[in-house]
Structure 1
Amino acid sequence: MSKLKNKVAVITGANSGIGLATAKLYLKEGAKVVLSGRRQEALDEVSKDLEGDFITVLADASKPEDNKRLISEATAHYGNIDILFLNAGIAPVSPATDITEEHYNEIFNINVKSPMLTVKEALPSLNDGGSILFTSSIVHKKGFDGLGVYSASKGAIRAYSRVLTSELRSRGIRVNSIAPGPIETPIYSKMGLPQDVVEDMGKGFASQVPLGRFGKSEEVANAALFLASDEGSYVNGAELEIDGGISQI
């Protein structure tokens, strides 16, 4: 398998879920992969099961200096970048009546500011004809109670990706977004909700999906491979929903 042979890929939020599944698939397809995450123990643990040419970089997506260092370490080790997958994100819940400045800043710092500044840092080292991917979400297409700030953050990154698509046209760099629906990832356990509430929320989401189930991280990774490879060479400025149809009905 060599759809990404010798391509250099940088993936944020790569120590679990969609990011980790994508890293594994990219490695299988011959890429050299830089995995970043904000917990060293998690990076060390997943490294035990990875095969291929990779490095891990401890980087907190909420800190601009960490995002800058991520690109610096990636290019120092592998040279120029071919694929930049801005996947790190958080989704704490708060109804409109309880939103605080801290809640807003936490989500927008990680979900919006971080990918925008990381792109800025990476552009000088991103090869012409390369690929930038964002993890968006279907939440900015539908209204889910308690996810107002999270939904706004994903709508913001989608809008930014459209502008970036236009700005990078002269370099042939493709910019696309992946919008997952309900996917089996650790993000639900990080919402700050009791386990029974998370489980009830999950059942509610699954019941709305035409396919009647949660998706798997590997199914999103397959989309990330398509968009980053030559198979997606004429896909640009798009947002691909991987959601079992929930956003379409």
Structure 2
Amino acid sequence: MQNEKLQVNLAPGMDKVEMLIREVKEANELPVKEPVKIAIQGTIGAPLEFLKRRMDQPDQINQKRSHILVDRENITVNLVYNENDEYNRGTVTGSLQIHPKFKEFGINTGKVWAPTELGMFFKMNRAFFTTKEENMKLVNELMNFTATVNNSLQKSANEKGDRTDYFNQVVNSNLPKSFNLLIPIFKGSKPETIEVETFAQIDGRDVAFMLISPGAQAVMEELRDAVIDKEIDFIRQLCPDIAIIEQ
């Protein structure tokens, strides 16, 4: 270490100061690291929001080196930018997710409910029924569920060799065949009024229920396409040179 003069200015009122000087053999330099790759996941509008805030940075968004992948089945819109740069490539994925409460109802999923279990669930989720009265009526009927299962079996044969083998099973219960819910299907979407049917599943003398709703399925298809089309239109207006590819 070469001798060098060092001047220290003391604060007013101080007459001495203690200094510690260390000598290192190697330069204290930070290691060179690769750029951090961006991989963001968010709501369906995430790619559009990212483009809005980054379009003024040519080093990050080059429309000719970016593309959008649209997956309608999984309800995702995926932005890939710097697509030909292994170090700086980034992705922003937006998805339309099923509302957690709609999932809990198990509509169109094959989930099986015991009558009392379903009654307690309805009681704790009164807010998603169109009326309080309908909810209370359903809860009471499920908690005091009664049903009769009628089975009929017909077998016959004649001299011509014709045979009949017919089985019929009918469930008669105090539960209505359908009811209405007012519930959001996707996260961030407004509540939809949907008709839900109760489908009986019989195991010997026990009866359980599945909840099905053709109307909810139709609404999901319509909302999915409408939301994705809206995002794509906005992206095309903002970035007309980005390739948009349907998967």
TM category (shorter chain) comes to under 0.3
Q: Which has the higher strand share?
A: 2
Q: Which has the higher helix share?
A: 1
- Larger Rg belongs to: 2
TM value normalised by structure 1: 0.23
TM value normalised by structure 2: 0.23
